């Protein structure tokens, strides 16, 4: 797979500790995250991105996001290297 740089927008669980009235409980939302990285793989189970990649293609710090939680994946386009 080509080393595409991506921005993944995804939602995750959140806990709200303590007591809550019904209207407060109903107003609670999932957290939305944005993660940057190199797309390693995407399948029905997980979307995998690496935070870093070496010049010989080794990945470091892999994040596994449940694919069902992914809202969007945007490929990042960069200019020529500095």
Residue 1, CA distances (Å) to 4, 14, 27 in order: 8, 33, 41
Q: Which residues 6+ apart lie within 8 Å of 31 measured at CB?
A: 11, 12, 13, 14
Mean pLDDT, residues 6-13 taken together: 96
Taking CA atoms, 76 is separated from 4, 14, 24, 72, in Å, by 8, 28, 38, 13
Element (H, E) at 36: strand 31-42
Is residue 9 a contact partner of residue 37, using CB atoms and an 8 Å limit? no
Cα–chain center distance at 63: 7
pLDDT in tens, 12-68: 999 999 999 999 999 999 999 999 999 999 999 999 999 999 989 899 999 999 999
């Amino acid at each position: 797979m080509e080393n595409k740089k991506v921005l993944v927008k995804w939602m995750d669980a959140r806990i709200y500790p303590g007591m809550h009235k019904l209207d407060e409980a109903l107003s609670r939302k999932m957290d939305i995250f944005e993660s940057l990285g190199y797309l390693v793989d995407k399948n029905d189970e997980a979307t995998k991105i690496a935070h870093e990649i070496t010049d010989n293609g080794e990945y470091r710090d892999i994040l596994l996001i449940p694919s069902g939680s992914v809202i969007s994946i945007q490929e990042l386009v960069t200019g020529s290297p500095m």
